[in-house]
Amino acid sequence: MSNCPHCKGLGWVRFDVPVGDPDFGKLVPCPDMDAHLEERKEEWYARSGLKPHEHYKLDDLVYIDDMHQEMVGVLTEFLEDPKGWLYLWGGYGTCKSVALQCAVSTFIERGTPAYYAMFADLLDVAKNSFKKPERKTTEDYDEAWSKWTSYEARLHRMRHLPLLAVDEVDTDKLNPTPWMRQFQDQLFEHRYRMAFGDARLVTMFAGNNSPDLLPGWMASRVKDTRFIVYENKGVDIRQQGTLEWFHE
């Protein structure tokens, strides 16, 4: 809303009082703040990694079986006061992805940006953001540079987002290659340290494997007793006939 008549899109306006008034120069929220928030939400959804039909709310998570219900309970409680890491694991088709997508939507609805990513995509971003091009030939340099900066920007965003939800964590891909060590430090170690103190960055993971199968560096952080590890032992809903095709 850069065309907002009140604040020109800044979100803040100054008190309209004469010089000398104690409120002179003070900033207050724009009277159209609600409209600004709505607009921001739209922008955050567009950059959330969610497809439009994946904007799940807690109320959308219907009863499937007791184990599923238990996971919804864990998620609901976690979202009441989100902090630290939450690692969800279990068999295929146990709605772990929906749980992460629901958390991302919940954050955005509360006015906080959040991001849902497949682990493989995250690795792709990380790998490429470490390939800073060297100026050798001017021809491909510009393209390589612009690609690199876009990966850099995405990695930077993932380091600082209030919620990062990582789906399909594949233990096989967490191998200790040099770039993986760099990735570990730049993203996960950073988010681990920023889970505490004032920053309180929240990170969620979902995968098929027990955290015991993660590499030592990751398992040690995931299993920090301040965090939550939850195993969903529910049924595969894809095999239960509980899924339907939705038509708008």
Sole binder of Zn ion in the list 29, 32, 127, 162 (CB under 5 A): 32
d(CA 125, CA 133): 15
Cβ-based nearer residue to Zn ion, 29 or 162: 29
d(CA 200, CA 18): 41
Cβ-based nearer residue to Zn ion, 30 or 102: 30
Cβ-based nearer residue to Zn ion, 4 or 118: 4
Residue 4 beta carbon to Zn ion: minimum distance, rounded to whole angstroms: 3
Cβ-based nearer residue to Zn ion, 16 or 81: 16
Only segment of 17-25, 31-39, 102-110, 123-131 that touches Zn ion (CB under 5 A): 31-39
Residue 6 beta carbon to Zn ion: minimum distance, rounded to whole angstroms: 4
Cβ-based nearer residue to Zn ion, 39 or 231: 39
Q: With binding defined as CB under 5 A, does residue 127 bind Zn ion?
A: no
Three-state SS annotation for 115-183: EEEEHHHHHHHHHHHCCCCCCCCHHHHHHHHHHHHHHHHHHHHHHHCCEEEEECCCHHHCCCCHHHHHH
Sole binder of Zn ion in the list 30, 88, 99, 114 (CB under 5 A): 30
Q: With binding defined as CB under 5 A, does residue 50 bind Zn ion?
A: no
Only segment of 29-37, 51-59, 167-175, 204-212 that touches Zn ion (CB under 5 A): 29-37
Count the Cβ atoms, other than its own, within 10 Å of residue 104: 28
Half-sphere exposure of 226 (CA within 13 A, CB side): 12
Q: With binding defined as CB under 5 A, does residue 54 bind Zn ion?
A: no
Sole binder of Zn ion in the list 7, 79, 163, 201 (CB under 5 A): 7
Q: With binding defined as CB under 5 A, does residue 40 bind Zn ion?
A: no
Contacting Zn ion within 174-233 (CB under 5 A): none
Number of residues engaging Zn ion in binding (CB under 5 A): 5
Classify residue 70 as exposed, middle or buried by CB count within 10 Å of its CB (0-12, 13-18, 19+).
Answer: middle
CA 181, 44, 69, 62 torsion: positive or negative?
Answer: negative
Q: With binding defined as CB under 5 A, does residue 39 bind Zn ion?
A: no
Cβ-based nearer residue to Zn ion, 1 or 194: 1
E-strand spans in the chain? 12-14, 27-29, 85-90, 114-118, 163-167, 202-207, 228-232
Residues making contact with Zn ion (CB under 5 A)? 4, 6-7, 30, 32
